[in-house]
Structure 1
Amino acid sequence: MGQNATINANFFLVCGLGNLGQYCVSVLKEFGAKVNAIEITTNQRWEIPDLPDLVDDFIIGDCRQPKILEQAGIKNCRAILIVTSNERVNIAAAFAARSLNPQIRLVIRSAQENLNELLSHNLGNFVAFEATQLPAKSFALAALSSETRSFFTLENHLLRVFRTQIDASHPWAKHSLLSEINTAHRRILAHAKAGNLLPQAFHKWEPNTQVLPGDTVAYIEVNDPLATRSIQPASSRQQFLPTIMTAMKWQNIHNALLQFWEESSQIRRVVLVGGMFMVSLFLCGTLLYKLQYPQLSFQDALNVSLVLSIGGYDNLFGQLQLPFKIPWWLHLFSISQTVAGTVFVGILYAVMTERVLAAKFQFSQRRLPIPKADHVVLIGLGRVGQRVAQLLQELKQPLVGVTANEIDPGTLSTLPLIQGNIKNALSKVNLNTAKSVLVVTDDEVANLEIALMTHASNPTANLVIRTLDPGFSENVAKLLPYARVLGVYALAAEAFVAAAFGENVLNLFRLNNQTTLVTEYQIETNDTLNGKLLGEIAYGYGIVPILHVKATQQIPKFMPSDDIRLAVGDRLIVLATIAGLQRVERGSLAPPQLLVRVESAFSPEAAFEGAAVMARVSGCDMQTARTLMKQLPATLQYPLYKHQAHRLVSELGKSQVLAHIV
């Protein structure tokens, strides 16, 4: 993990035991961490009743004082969370902590964005959050279906975590095996039969189990890129000319022109064809006048043709009598060229006018209409509300915003919006047919009143309320059992704790009453992951690889195959519980226990292919696999994990090799 030898990687210090600090201690203890705390006074109201019992060492004093920090064990801490309600105290304590421990990770509460950025550059290993703005993602999740447990972005792809109750109409019911649900864009996290709870550990499901109505399946799925644009690396000078020559082949030019034509709009096609026609007339006119009047220079011939092309017929032939002798056919051509030029110039003027008007109206573009049904009503568009709206729009959720205050026209420009008195606005947002109602203004009493009004109008809507005070949250939750009451500090604590574990923790979410972390590893020489198959890592450590990038390719692979062997420089992102991360850190790999017996191969070609499959899936060397295939029936004396063994049997069967697990 890259920690200093004197630092305990599971030891944290929390400064300030207000609402946020108490929740930070609680979340850290869920991870099994050792937590010391500093509070300025003993007269603290505990929102979490057993909090004094959770803290390993409770220090009374000012967290800005070096003696107090040393007494709390700062020199041995992995990270310090400075979350008092006073930003000046937080910043001063950060400087004191850095002077005492140059390696410690600083996580502070601060809303000063510019100052936070400057401190990040100067203090290093530093991150700052404003607690009231962090829970936006949780509010967005609450507005979605009950199946969605989390979503996050990796490499410009959206990943979502679901927990689905299978019913008779579900496409997986009755006809699917669990192993068939795993695809190139999906991984099963857990499975439980009807009436049972999901197991907390990953991979505790049987690959050959049939999915039945009533079962519960948790899985993660990756969507298509949010924006698709491939950037190719620059070619070397030696490759430049061959590339150009290849691109200039007639077939390639023809394909490029054909693609350009198919992707062009109708207006662009008209302009393109008209432009080519006018160029042809211009060149023909130049040639004809030069041939008919040899005394004219090429410049004069070009000028005559240009004048005719831009509608200048009257400049040449506008007199009562023609100023020079001209054959009838050339005269007719000149008239035709002038008419064609006039039409083409008219087309250009029309296109340019349309573009100017479109650009003008874009500045005063009207917002989209309010959805009619199955939409989300977002009440309150402060900083939290705007972030929630952005997340829901990224997820392509039909949405309408309601705010009492004027907002900038350029802010959320595509969001259907009602501004003004919120009580009056509720009659304009199709509340009766809404799927969810999120009330996230900065006034928690007003949130309660609005929530009661919306529930009276639509009792079936999914109601989510933002609160600040934990005691108020608890009372509102009792009063409104049909609503989801989300306290900002309880939600923000998880983000502070994730940041405290380091930059390798990219995200975290709750699944089956435990916290799952999205964690990134950069493989190093002495790493416990180096040289192992992803299958060994997944089943031996109890984690789920979701993205792999080879050091030599830099192309991300989502839901990577178990057959990939990690090497130095590779990047790996996994889902893991804190217990799984600790096993990785210690190198505590669970031993594989299953063997595969190969009975027969249908042909010599099948035996040859089967040896390659065996080496790839199990990780054994090719010589061992080929020797075994020559001595059938035989058992591969190479223990495998359950999912590895099932997959090996399946892959051998596809190669016409009969095998089974022993």
Structure 2
Amino acid sequence: MHQAAQPQVLLDQFLVCGLGGLGQHCVVALKQFEVSVIAIDKKPPEDWEIPHLENLLDTLVIGDCRQIDVLQQAKIQQCRAAIIVTSSEQVNAETALAVRKLNPKTRLVIRSSKKNLNELLSEHLGNFVAFEPTQLPAPAFALAALGTETLGLFHLEGQWLQVVKRTLSPTDRWCNRQLLHELNTHKRHILYHTSSATSSFKAFHKWEPDTRLMPGDTIVYIEAIKPTSTDSQKLVKNTWYNPWHLLTRLKHLNWLTIKQQVTQFLRKPDQNRFKQVGIICGVIVGVLLLLGTVLYRLTYPKMGLIDAFLTSTMLLLGGFGDLFGGFNFTLPVPFWLRLISLGMTITGTILVGVFYSFLTERLLAARFQLNKRRPPVPQKDHVVVVGLGRMGQGIAEILQEFNQPLVGITLNTDFDMTVLPKMPLITGSLKRFLSKANLQTAKSVVVVTDDEMLNLEVSLMAYDANPESNLVIRTTGLSLSDNLAELLPNAQVLCVYALVAEAFAGAAFGENIINLFRINHKTILVTEYQIEGGDTLNGLLLSEVAYGYGVVPILYQKETGMAKLMPSEDISLAVGDRMIVLATSDGLQRIEQGTTITTSKTWQVHITRALTEEAQFEGANVLVRISGCSLNTARTVMKNLPQTLHLPLYKHQAQRLIIELSKAQVIAHLLPTNSL
């Protein structure tokens, strides 16, 4: 793993099996590491998704990647890793077995969603890792859907970590008060700072520690958090059952609002069919009940109002025979009244039949949903997730983890109704489910079906329904992504293959890619390293790893110790240690090749004086701890003040040394090496 002391091993030859969309993006990601790439495909692609990609390939072999002779033609014996990403998981597994038969040392990175099979293959084949492209980028889609300042979200050692982008307002508690380096704590670390709205993220550590934060500044930082719900994230409950809200509605009720609600109600016959039938039946029953009561009361003045009402009720419930079944009447009943009574009985019988059928339909529907009754669709500030495949379900799970109101939509008639039982769910025709999802008041719409044309159609419909919503669209091709970005400039169009290709490429070098997120269109990989003998990282301080390779260590664990989040930069790496860093593909490339950013290690610290003898002693310890110099060198420097520590340091490292020396009552300042 990223060892520089064995030139006889071919480190720069990699094999990509399958040149579909994902395979082509993997080729591009590998070439960023300046390595040799060989590809296998059954036939030459008719249309290259990435223009001129064939020029990036050192060799293109046409054939079945499962065949031994094809793999030998691709020089598998000399390949450091094989990225197997055909569209068939069976082909991927068979190819992995064939590769391992020919080369027991080749790193295997395959595309597969079979979790149990992946574990078995990893156990029996070794040096093996599997990814599912639709699951790995789910956090990126979920964060885009939230429409908040959170850029990244992942789980490490039982702790949630989030990456936050924050633009400071004049009333912000950090404005005009704190320096950038003061924000770094054991739970938070600064990744990026800019005072320009047009500045874009290119690399870590490009900020000045002693910068005072001002209104309008933008910072990106990572911090450990505990997920909590906020008022804006709580599920919106049905306000009809809130008595105070009901009184408010009644208070503002007038003829205009009634007319508007009735018109809106009648314009949606598909959604309100049963309600409309019930209302019509209720109106007819009320009219007949009132008519019968009035007629019997006027015909028989001695009959009480209650008796007239009960007589009408009896007729509506089919009591004509009970009332007029005999020949001896206590009261003479005119023929016209009998005719009206018969009509009331017939109408009442029909309405009762309709009511029974309506009730039966409701009971049957409830019968199938009794065990897993889902909550109602939120009324506003919710996220609509269209497409509940593996990616959609992963997005919904993350949103539920942080109590974000949402509703899932699926066109799959075979969808497993036991999945995500606490999430509101809508099924049915395209137009119907979009109208039922309250798109007009939704905060975000996430379109992640497996059909790109359906994603396009749904996205345009969602935009027409609510142009102000935060629209997040899944694509697999760059051309569609670019065209959609122009058509819907405010939408976030995420190309799945472009997102995960860097993870596949990083894994090909033997690293464990845990997660990924984006900062200003730059993919950041959460990468795990295990320090081995002969490793280029062995013996380095974390500060040297961070500033030398342009990465951010966020977790350190000694072989037999506890894991530490946001570890001290003074820790020295040793064999067996575990480290997790945030890195761009450039950072991974530098670690892989063992090439540090030497141009930034151009600073020294000039120490003027120590205020006390104790400060002189403690200052030497600080020099050893932060700069990595020997104790003898540190003691010599501190005994001969003023003196310069003749050891090139990275700027952040040198500035931190000055800050820690000042805490120990030692005065020092920064010098560029070319000034000496």
TM-score, normalisation: structure 2: 0.70
For 1:486, the equivalent position in structure 2 comes to 494
For 1:516, the equivalent position in structure 2 comes to 524
Counterpart secondary structure, 1:188? strand
Following superposition, the deviation at residue 645 of structure 1 comes to 1.8
> What one-letter code is carried by the residue in structure 1 that aligns with 2:444?
S
Deviates more, 1:368-377 or 1:531-540: 368-377
For 2:431, the equivalent position in structure 1 comes to 423
For 1:122, the equivalent position in structure 2 comes to 124
- For residues 648 and 469 of structure 1, what CA distance do their matches in structure 2 show? 48
For 1:159, the equivalent position in structure 2 comes to 161
For 1:374, the equivalent position in structure 2 comes to 381
Choose which of 410, 415, 421 in structure 2 pairs with 1:403.
410
Q: Is the 8 A contact 2:227 2:402 kept in 1?
A: no
> What one-letter code is carried by the residue in structure 2 that aligns with 1:610?
G
Q: Do residues 617 (structure 1) and 632 (structure 2) align?
A: no
Aligned residues: 526
> What one-letter code is carried by the residue in structure 1 that aligns with 2:622?
V
Choose which of 553, 559, 563 in structure 2 pairs with 1:551.
559
- For residues 57 and 412 of structure 1, what CA distance do their matches in structure 2 show? 46
Following superposition, the deviation at residue 438 of structure 1 comes to 0.9
- For residues 419 and 90 of structure 1, what CA distance do their matches in structure 2 show? 34
Following superposition, the deviation at residue 168 of structure 1 comes to 3.5
Following superposition, the deviation at residue 205 of structure 1 comes to 1.8
For 2:309, the equivalent position in structure 1 comes to none
For 1:272, the equivalent position in structure 2 comes to none
Q: Do residues 465 (structure 1) and 467 (structure 2) align?
A: no
> What one-letter code is carried by the residue in structure 1 that aligns with 2:393?
Q
Q: Is the 8 A contact 1:546 1:574 kept in 2?
A: yes
Following superposition, the deviation at residue 560 of structure 1 comes to 1.0
Following superposition, the deviation at residue 463 of structure 1 comes to 0.9
Structure 1 residues 315-335: Cα deviation after superposition (integer angstroms, max 9, x where no partner):
xxxxxxxxxxxxxxxxxxxxx
For 1:322, the equivalent position in structure 2 comes to none
Alignment of 1:66-85 (within 5 A): 66-85=68-87
Inter-CA distance 468–611: structure 2 relative to 1 (3 Å threshold): closer
Structure 1 residues 298-339: Cα deviation after superposition (integer angstroms, max 9, x where no partner):
xxxxxxxxxxxxxxxxxxxxxxxxxxxxxxxxxxxxxxxxxx
Following superposition, the deviation at residue 116 of structure 1 comes to 4.1
- For residues 133 and 650 of structure 1, what CA distance do their matches in structure 2 show? 44
Following superposition, the deviation at residue 545 of structure 1 comes to 1.1
For 1:295, the equivalent position in structure 2 comes to none
Counterpart secondary structure, 1:659? strand
- For residues 195 and 447 of structure 1, what CA distance do their matches in structure 2 show? 32
For 2:258, the equivalent position in structure 1 comes to none
Q: Is the 8 A contact 2:2 2:509 kept in 1?
A: no
Q: Is the 8 A contact 1:522 1:571 kept in 2?
A: yes
Structure 1 residues 225-265: Cα deviation after superposition (integer angstroms, max 9, x where no partner):
99xxxxxxxxxxxxxxxxxxxxxxxxxxxxxxxxxxxxxxx
User: What are the ranges of 5 or more consecutive residues in structure 1 without an aligned counterpart?
Assistant: 227-361
Following superposition, the deviation at residue 52 of structure 1 comes to 1.1
Inter-CA distance 8–435: structure 2 relative to 1 (3 Å threshold): farther
Counterpart secondary structure, 1:69? helix
Following superposition, the deviation at residue 514 of structure 1 comes to 4.2
Q: Do residues 223 (structure 1) and 232 (structure 2) align?
A: no
- For residues 411 and 456 of structure 1, what CA distance do their matches in structure 2 show? 30
- For residues 500 and 545 of structure 2, what CA distance do their matches in structure 1 show? 31
Counterpart secondary structure, 1:176? coil
Following superposition, the deviation at residue 460 of structure 1 comes to 0.8
- For residues 570 and 593 of structure 1, what CA distance do their matches in structure 2 show? 29
Counterpart secondary structure, 2:655? helix
Choose which of 629, 644, 649 in structure 2 pairs with 1:635.
644
Following superposition, the deviation at residue 548 of structure 1 comes to 0.7
Alignment of 1:306-455 (within 5 A): 364=371, 366-368=373-375, 370-404=377-411, 405=413, 408=416, 410-421=418-429, 423-455=431-463
Counterpart secondary structure, 1:201? coil
Counterpart secondary structure, 1:102? coil
Inter-CA distance 11–453: structure 2 relative to 1 (3 Å threshold): same
For 2:507, the equivalent position in structure 1 comes to 499
Following superposition, the deviation at residue 584 of structure 1 comes to 3.2
TM-score, normalisation: structure 1: 0.71
Counterpart secondary structure, 1:625? helix
- For residues 628 and 470 of structure 1, what CA distance do their matches in structure 2 show? 58
Q: Is the 8 A contact 1:519 1:575 kept in 2?
A: yes
- For residues 629 and 111 of structure 2, what CA distance do their matches in structure 1 show? 51
Following superposition, the deviation at residue 648 of structure 1 comes to 1.9
For 1:41, the equivalent position in structure 2 comes to 43
Q: Is the 8 A contact 1:164 1:216 kept in 2?
A: yes
- For residues 375 and 510 of structure 1, what CA distance do their matches in structure 2 show? 23
- For residues 128 and 69 of structure 2, what CA distance do their matches in structure 1 show? 22
For 1:647, the equivalent position in structure 2 comes to 656
Q: Is the 8 A contact 1:610 1:655 kept in 2?
A: yes
Deviates more, 1:453-462 or 1:124-133: 124-133
Counterpart secondary structure, 2:206? coil
- Structure of greater relative contact order (alpha carbons < 8 Å, 6+ residues apart): 2
Deviates more, 1:369-378 or 1:46-55: 369-378
> What one-letter code is carried by the residue in structure 2 that aligns with 1:179?
H
Structure 1 residues 594-646: Cα deviation after superposition (integer angstroms, max 9, x where no partner):
22222233333333333333332223344443444343333333433211221
Choose which of 640, 659, 662 in structure 1 pairs with 2:668.
659
Q: Is the 8 A contact 1:81 1:500 kept in 2?
A: yes
Structure 1 residues 455-483: Cα deviation after superposition (integer angstroms, max 9, x where no partner):
22321111122345665555544443333
- For residues 518 and 600 of structure 1, what CA distance do their matches in structure 2 show? 42
Q: Is the 8 A contact 2:606 2:645 kept in 1?
A: yes
For 2:546, the equivalent position in structure 1 comes to 538
- For residues 424 and 80 of structure 1, what CA distance do their matches in structure 2 show? 46
For 1:334, the equivalent position in structure 2 comes to none
Counterpart secondary structure, 1:391? helix
User: What are the ranges of 5 or more consecutive residues in structure 2 without an aligned counterpart?
Assistant: 229-368, 672-676
Q: Is the 8 A contact 1:406 1:419 kept in 2?
A: no
For 2:464, the equivalent position in structure 1 comes to 456
Q: Is the 8 A contact 2:140 2:518 kept in 1?
A: no
Q: Is the 8 A contact 1:198 1:216 kept in 2?
A: no
- For residues 135 and 631 of structure 1, what CA distance do their matches in structure 2 show? 56
Alignment RMSD (CA, Å): 3.2
Counterpart secondary structure, 1:386? helix
Inter-CA distance 457–597: structure 2 relative to 1 (3 Å threshold): same
Choose which of 539, 563, 575 in structure 2 pairs with 1:568.
575
- For residues 37 and 26 of structure 2, what CA distance do their matches in structure 1 show? 10
Inter-CA distance 363–501: structure 2 relative to 1 (3 Å threshold): farther
Q: Do residues 17 (structure 1) and 24 (structure 2) align?
A: no
- For residues 534 and 227 of structure 2, what CA distance do their matches in structure 1 show? 34
Inter-CA distance 169–26: structure 2 relative to 1 (3 Å threshold): farther
- For residues 173 and 9 of structure 1, what CA distance do their matches in structure 2 show? 49
Counterpart secondary structure, 1:639? strand
Give the share of equivalent positions with the same residue, in percent. Answer: 56
